[in-house]
Amino acid sequence: MIDINSGEGRGPECVDALRLMYLFLDKELSAEERLHVQEHLDACIPCLEQFEFEVELKRVIACKCQDEVPDHLYERVRATLQLEIQGGTLASANAPLLADPSAQPGRIGENPSESGIPKA
C-alpha cells in the first residue's frame, strides 16, 4: 500500500494525486482538479489501488459508525465552535463546561431548540 504522506518512489503526479485523494473522494475539488486526479488514477495502477482502498475504508467507516451523538454533546460542541468563531478560544470556552455542567452555553440536558444555535 502507498503511504499517502510520503513521496518516496513516487513521481510528482502521484504525490499530487494522493495529496488530493480525500478531497476527490469528498467531491471538494474543482472540475479541473477532479479531471487531473481522475486522469492520473486512470493511468497509474498503484494510485488507483490506493484510491480503491480508501473508497472501501470510507464505506466501511460510514456503515459501522452510525451512532447518534446525544443532543447535549452536540450542542456543547456547536456552542464551543460558535464561541471560537466569535473570537473566543476553545480552551476558555471549554473550561466552564468542564468545571460546571450547568454552565452556559450548552449545559447538559438543555433542550437544543432553546440554545439559540441552529442544529445543522
Q: Taking a C-beta distance cutoff of 8 angstroms, is the pair 55, 25 a contact?
A: yes
Q: Residue 34 sits in which domain range?
A: 12-64
Instruction: Answer whether residue 81 is part of any domain.
Output: yes
- pTM: predicted TM-score of the whole model, two decimal places: 0.48
Structure confidence at residue 62 (pLDDT): 85
Instruction: Answer whether residue 99 is part of any domain.
Output: yes
Residues 82 and 54 in one domain: no
Angstrom distance (rounded) from CA 87 to CA 85: 5
Residues 96 and 59 in one domain: no
Burial 70-103 (b: 16+ CB within 10 A, else e): ebbebbbebbbebbeeeeeeeeebeeebeeeeee
Tens of pLDDT, residues 3-48: 544 444 478 889 888 889 889 999 999 999 999 999 999 999 999 9
Q: Which distant-in-sequence residues (6+ apart) come within 8 Å of 36 by Cβ?
A: 16, 17, 20
Structure confidence at residue 34 (pLDDT): 93
Residues 60 and 79 in one domain: no
Tens of pLDDT, residues 9-20: 478 889 888 889
Number of structural domains (the chain) is: 2
Q: Which pLDDT band, with edges at 50, 70 and 90, does 90 fall under? A: low
